[in-house]
């Protein structure tokens, strides 16, 4: 949608639905935006939003980015959790084989240039999958990083005019855990093995006692996020992140 229209709608969603809980906010916001998808990594916290969406509509589109470098546990969890929740419209998007052959023929781009690897394996596939959508839902939260401290529940994606909904923006880790327990939702199996934040296999390591939960992502680099939240353009490619 036009940028000014998206900005006005985003502000209206924030002001008119400020008092609603996360799921009620989604129920109110989605029809006003139009065609919306949930983008999910099927990671450590993903079951919360997936459960909320399944309660709204089991045919709601859920985009899953298979980077072709994920943990096998993530791929299995994606299938099992979708079945458990009865989600019937999982859209799997992946990097194009020709692009992989040209840009990452040896599968080691992640070592040479992590930004380009995330662009190839995550951002580009997601941009293709989101063509025709007026908005999408993410699982980002303010507590996750300093770059998210001011995150709103609705915002406009730079450059595209799509509206991003962040219904869990103000949720704490305790709230996430309580929701998972309340609804008996299956956890990602790697969480119990020391992976509180889960991305691609080569760039995710176990987190030690007392470390930040995201310390295992791109360890040893200044990179903190993956890139999909600056699809429409950004002053910088750093500070990029996975959806949920």
200 is catalytic: no
What is residue 188's DSSP assignment?
A: P
Query: What's the rounded Cα separation, in Å, for the pair 81 and 84?
Result: 5
- Domain 3-230: CATH class, spelled out: alpha beta
Among 117, 118, 203, 226, the one annotated catalytic: 226
- The reported pLDDT for the residue numbered 219 is 83
Per-residue pLDDT tens for 73-124?
A: 999 999 999 999 999 999 999 999 999 999 999 999 999 999 999 999 999 9
pLDDT at 212: 81
Of 151-155, 180-184, 215-219, the one with minimum mean pLDDT is 215-219
Alpha carbon distance 179, 199 (integer Å): 22
CA distance 12 to 9: 5
Give residue 107's pLDDT.
95
- The residues spanned by each domain of the chain are 3-230
pLDDT digits over 21-42, tens only?
999 999 999 999 999 999 999 9
Which residues lie below 8 Å from residue 165, measured CB to CB, with a gap of 6+?
13, 25, 26, 29, 30, 33, 36, 135, 136, 137, 138, 153, 154
The helix or strand, by DSSP H or E, that contains position 63, with its residue range, turns out to be strand 62-65
C-alpha distance across the termini of the chain, in Å: 24
H or E element, residue 137: strand 135-137
What is the rounded CA–CA span in Å between residue 214 and residue 221?
12
Residue pLDDT, tens place only, 129-150: 999 999 999 999 887 766 667 7
């Amino acid at each position: 949608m036009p940028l000014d229209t998206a900005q006005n709608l985003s502000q209206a969603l924030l002001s008119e639905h400020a008092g609603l809980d996360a799921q009620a906010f989604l129920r109110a916001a989605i029809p006003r935006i139009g065609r919306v998808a949930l983008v999910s990594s099927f990671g450590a916290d993903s079951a919360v939003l997936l459960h909320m969406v399944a309660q709204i509509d089991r045919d709601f589109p859920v985009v899953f980015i298979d980077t072709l470098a994920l943990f096998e546990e993530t791929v299995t969890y994606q299938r099992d959790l979708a079945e458990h929740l009865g989600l019937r419209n999982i859209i799997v998007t992946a990097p194009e084989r020709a692009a992989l052959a040209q840009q990452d023929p040896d599968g080691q781009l992640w070592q040479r240039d992590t930004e380009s690897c995330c662009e190839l394996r995550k951002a580009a596939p997601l941009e293709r999958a989101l063509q025709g959508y007026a908005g999408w839902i993410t699982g980002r939260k303010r507590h996750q990083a300093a770059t998210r401290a001011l995150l709103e529940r609705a915002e406009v994606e730079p450059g595209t005019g799509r509206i991003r909904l962040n219904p869990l923006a103000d949720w704490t880790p305790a709230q996430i855990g309580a929701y998972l327990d309340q609804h008996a939702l299956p956890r990602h199996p790697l969480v119990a093995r020391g992976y509180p934040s889960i991305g691609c296999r080569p760039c995710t390591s176990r987190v030690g006692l007392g470390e930040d939960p995201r310390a295992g992502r791109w360890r040893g680099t200044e990179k903190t996020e993956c890139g999909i939240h600056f699809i429409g353009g950004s002053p910088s490619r750093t500070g990029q992140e996975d959806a949920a």
